[in-house]
């Protein structure tokens, strides 16, 4: 079902966890494309909740641009999650961590949906702690095999990714920043060490967050992690000379590798370009008989001016932020 309107829709953090964030360049290009061509892909909703198309929705809402709505029908949240996982797995820019996570979550959603369907027909049966039914009634291997064929994995790999996804969700409950960094590929942690991390108490998870904030690690081995956390707990009051030396060496290495360039080059070029824009706009305002122009021509110019204004405001904010930092 599609319609053209701009209603208010809700976001759901649980669904957002299944969507790998886009980088800033992609978001800028998407915004410009919507400005130039309109919102060509529909925003997908379930009831009043966004399922897919969050960026398109936010851009259209921000600039009051019309968009189409595709209304999806699911019998349960698990069906909605399975749909979203399958849609996200079509992306070519997924990190390997996010792909494993999505396959694990897809398997879990399909298992939950199958268990719910069985319980509906056999209410006398009791689910386990995960809300699922015994493999005697719901064929776990069959579901994993179907998913594995779709994404070129064996059924045992699919169930392995289910364990991986559950472990990441346990870590998220204690420290969402850590899970996000692992999934986005900014923190390298092996499958086995993700399982071990999920078993850590929240005090150790908080210690790991402090390590990450210090910038001293970007890869975690479990034995290294335990050593670092024990080091943090020692009440010596002494500064961490190793970390300071490592940070200093990294900074010096970055300076040595930096090419010699003129940091003002692009700003200087822009400075000489802007006056010609100003003159062109002034001349247009003086010479154009606006009542005689077509509505389409005015709208095209208006769209480009709004787009230009948006970029100018972004540049001004950047210039002001950099000035404040000095």
Instruction: Look at residue 322 in the predicted model and tell me its pLDDT.
Output: 61
Give the model's pLDDT for residue 30: 96
Between CA 252 and CA 271 the distance in angstroms is 33
Return the CATH number of the domain spanning residue range 1-73: 3.90.1530.10
- For the chain, residues with pLDDT lower than 70 are 1-5, 129-137, 215-262, 322-326
Residue whose C-alpha is closest to residue 154's, from 202, 117, 107: 107
Q: Write down the pLDDT at residue 83.
A: 98
pLDDT value, residue 34: 95
Bridge partners of 67, per DSSP, are 5
Query: What pLDDT score does 159 carry?
Result: 95
Q: CATH 3.90.1530.10 occupies which residues in the chain?
A: 1-73
Q: What is the pTM of this model?
A: 0.68
For residue 151, the model assigns a pLDDT of 96
User: What is the distance between the alpha carbons of residues 98 and 87, in angstroms, rounded to a whole number?
Assistant: 13
**Rounded distance, CA 98 to CA 259, Å?**
34
Q: What is the DSSP letter of 93?
A: S
């Amino acid at each position: 079902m599609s319609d053209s309107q701009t209603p208010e829709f809700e976001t759901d953090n649980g669904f957002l966890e299944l969507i790998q964030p886009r980088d800033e360049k992609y978001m800028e290009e998407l915004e410009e494309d919507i400005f130039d061509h309109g919102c060509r892909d529909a925003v997908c909703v379930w009831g009043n909740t966004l399922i897919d198309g969050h960026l398109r929705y936010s851009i259209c809402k921000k600039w009051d641009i019309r968009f189409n709505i595709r209304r999806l029908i699911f019998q349960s949240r698990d069906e909605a999650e399975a749909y979203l996982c399958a849609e996200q797995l079509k992306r070519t820019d997924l990190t390997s961590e996010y792909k494993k996570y999505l396959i694990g979550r897809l398997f879990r959603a399909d298992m939950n949906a199958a268990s719910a369907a069985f319980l509906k027909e056999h209410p006398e049966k009791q689910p386990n702690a995960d809300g699922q039914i015994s493999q005697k009634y719901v064929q776990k291997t069959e579901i994993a095999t179907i998913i594995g064929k779709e994404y070129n994995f064996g059924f045992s790999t699919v169930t392995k990714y289910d364990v991986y996804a559950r472990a990441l969700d346990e870590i998220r409950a204690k420290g969402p920043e850590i899970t996000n960094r692992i999934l986005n590929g900014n923190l390298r942690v092996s499958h086995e060490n993700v399982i071990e991390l999920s078993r850590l108490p929240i005090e150790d998870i908080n210690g790991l967050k402090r390590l990450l904030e210090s910038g001293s690690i970007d890869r975690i081995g479990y034995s290294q992690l335990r050593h670092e956390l024990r080091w943090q707990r020692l009440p010596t009051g002494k500064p961490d000379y190793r970390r300071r030396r490592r940070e200093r060496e990294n900074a010096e290495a970055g300076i040595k590798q930096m090419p010699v360039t003129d940091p003002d080059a692009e700003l200087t070029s822009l400075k000489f370009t802007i006056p010609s824009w100003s003159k062109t706009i002034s001349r247009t305002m003086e010479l154009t008989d606006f009542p005689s122009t077509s509505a389409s021509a005015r709208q095209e110019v208006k769209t480009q001016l709004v787009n230009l204004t948006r970029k100018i405001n972004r540049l001004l904010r950047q210039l002001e932020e950099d000035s404040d930092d000095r």
